Amino acid sequence: MKRTALILFGIYFAMLFNVNAQSKVGDAEKAIKDKDYSKALTITKEVLDNEPPTEALKLLIQLREKNLVDKRLYEYLGDAYAKMNVAELALSNYAQAETMDSLDVPLKFKSAELLVKQKRYTEAVNKYLKIIALDPKNAKAYVDAASILYQAKMFADAAVLYEKYIAIDQTKEAYERLTKAFLETTNYEKAHTYALEGLKKYPDDVKLKKDAAISSYALGVILTRNHSNGNGGGKPDSLETKKAQEYFKESTKHYAEIPDSQMTVSDLKNAGYAYQNLLADSLAIKYFEKVVKKDSTQSGLFMEMANTYFRNKQNALAIKYYKAKTQVDSTYEPAYRYMGFAAFQDGQYDEARRAFLKAKKLVDTTFATTYWLAQVYTKLDSTEQASELFNNVLRLADGKEKQYKDEVFVANFFLGRRAFDRQNYNAAIPYLKRVLQYKPNDVGTTEMIAVSYHQLQNFDEAIKWYRQVLKLNPKSEIAKKGLRRLSAD
C-alpha cells in the first residue's frame, strides 16, 4: 500500500512538472506575441536552465526571426547548442554575442571552455589571453590556459602563466606544475625557488620534494662543472664550490624524504651522485644498488659502484662490480683494467694478471695496463714476461717521459738490473744510465754501472764510476775493491 502511494505521488509530481514546463513555454510564446521580447528572453532562460534544450531553442529561433538585437539572444542560442553538443553553432552564436559586448568575460569563458572540449587548444588559449587582457587578475583564465599549454608540453609558455597564477592563488597543483615546467625548460634556479616556496605551504608534498631535489642537484652539477672549467679560479674552497656542496647536501636531504616506491631510476642515480659529490660513498653505493635492483640494464652504474668501492679500498666489492660490468659488456676495457688494479692492491696477482691480459687484448696500447701487468709478472717471478712488458712501457712512454717519469724509472731499473744479473753488461749500462737521469745519486745503480764497465774491461770508465760511487758513499766496499783491483785506489 505504501509503495503504491509513492508511485502515485511520483506520477503526480512528474505531471505537475510537465504542466509547469508547458506553462513556461506558453508564457514565453505569449510574450513574443505581445512583442515583450525582454520578458520572453527571461522566461526562455528559465526553460533553458530547467528543460531539455530543444524547448528553449524553439523559442530562441522565434525571437531571432523577429530580428531581435540583444546579446542575450545569441548567448542563450550558444548555450542551447552547447547542451545539444552542436559545437560549431554554439561557437558562432557566442561569437555573435561577443560582437555586441566585447568586454563580457563570462561569455568569453563559455567560448574558451567549449573550444577546449573540441580540442581546439590554440583558439582556447587565445580566448583565455583575451580574458586576461580584460581582467589581469583572473586566476581561472591563467590556470586554464596554463593547463592547456602544460598538457601540450609547451612548458616555457605554461610556466609564464603558472607564475602569474601563483601570484594570485597558491594551489598545490600550480606549484607542482610550475616547478615541473621550469625543470623541463632547464630553468633550475626558478624550479628550485618555487619548489621551496611550495614546500613552505605544502611541506608533505612528495612531488615538490622531488622537484626540489632534482633542481638543487642540477644547480650543484652546474656549479661544479663551472669550477672544473676554470671559472672557480681553481681554488677548492671557492665560494662556487661551497655553494655546489650546499646544493648537493640539500638535494640528498629531499631525496631521503621520498619513499623508494616513488623514486625513478633517474632519481636514485641523482641521489647517488649527490652523495658521491659529498664524499659520502657508503650512501652513494646504497642508492646505486637500488638503481641496479630496479633496472638491471643500468650497467654504467656498475662502474660507479666499483670505482667507489675501489676508492675506499674495498677491493673485493670493487672486483665484484667490475665483473658485473664485464658480464653485461664483455668489450668494456676499463672494467678489466680497474679490476686488475683492485686485485693487485689485494695481492691477488694471478687474478690481476688475467684481468690485465683481457684489458690488453681489447686495447693493446693503454700505458697503465702494460705497466701494471709488468708489475704483476714481477710479483709472480715471471721475469721474461715482465721484461718484454717493461720494454713495451718504454716504447709507449717515448716522448712522454715527463708524464710517466716514475714508471719509466721503474722500467729502466728492472731492465737494467735484469741484464746486469744475467751478466749482459752491454745491455745493462744504457738502462742503468737512464735510471740515474731520474735518480742521480742512487748508489746501487752507480755501483752496477761501475761493475759493468769493469767486467767489460773498460777500465777508464770503471775507475771513473767507482770514484763516483765513493763520492756518494765513501764506505762502499764494492767501489774500494774495484779500485784496488784496478790499482787506482
How does residue 229 score in pLDDT terms, banded at 50, 70 and 90?
A: low
In a domain, 371, yes or no: yes
The mean per-residue pLDDT over the stretch 50-65 comes to: 90
What is the pTM for the complete model shown? 0.66
Residue 28 in grid coordinates = 514565453
Residue 422 belongs to some domain of the structure? yes
Are 406 and 465 contained in the same domain?
A: no
Which of 401, 417, 436 is where one domain is finished?
436
In this prediction, residue 288 carries a pLDDT of 87
Residue 338: which of 287, 372, 312 has the closest Cα?
Answer: 372
Residue 134 maps to a domain: no
Percent of the chain topping pLDDT 90: 74
Per-residue pLDDT for 17 more than 50?
no
Among 78-82, 196-200, 305-309, 441-445, the range scoring the smallest mean pLDDT is 305-309
Query: Is residue 422 domain-shared with residue 485, that is, in the same domain?
Result: no
pLDDT given at position 15: 43
Tens of pLDDT along 130-157? 999 999 999 999 999 999 999 999 999 9
Look at residue 488 in the predicted model and tell me its pLDDT: 67
Q: Minimal CA–CA distance to 317: which of 331, 307, 330? A: 307
Nearest to 305 by CA among 348, 276, 267, 271: 276
Helix (H), strand (E) counts: the chain: 26, 0
Domain presence at residue 455:
yes
Q: What is the mean pLDDT of residues 54-71?
A: 90
Within a domain: 75: no
pLDDT at 11 over 60: no
pLDDT at 363 over 70: yes
Structural domain harbouring 421: 364-436
The pLDDT tens digits of the residues spanning 107-120 come to: 999 999 999 999 99
The answer on pLDDT for 171 being more than 60 is yes
Q: Which of 436, 453, 480 is at the close of a domain? A: 436
Are both 368 and 419 inside the same structural domain? Answer: yes
Amino acid at position 2, single letter:
K
Domains in the chain, number: 2
Mean pLDDT over each residue of the chain, to the nearest integer: 90
For residue 174, is it within any domain?
no
Q: Tell which of 419, 436, 453 closes a domain.
A: 436
The answer to whether 315 and 309 are in contact (CB under 8 A) is yes
Residue 247 maps to a domain: no
In angstroms, rounded to a whole number, what is the distance separating the alpha carbons of residues 329 and 392? 28
Is the CB of residue 252 less than 8 Å from the CB of residue 283? yes
At 407, which CATH number?
1.25.40
User: Same structural domain for residues 427 and 448?
Assistant: no
Q: Are 369 and 345 contacting, i.e. CB atoms less than 8 angstroms apart? A: no
472 domain-assigned: yes
Same-domain check for residues 410 and 454: no
Positive/negative CA dihedral, 293, 296, 298, 304: positive
Same domain assignment for residues 406 and 453: no
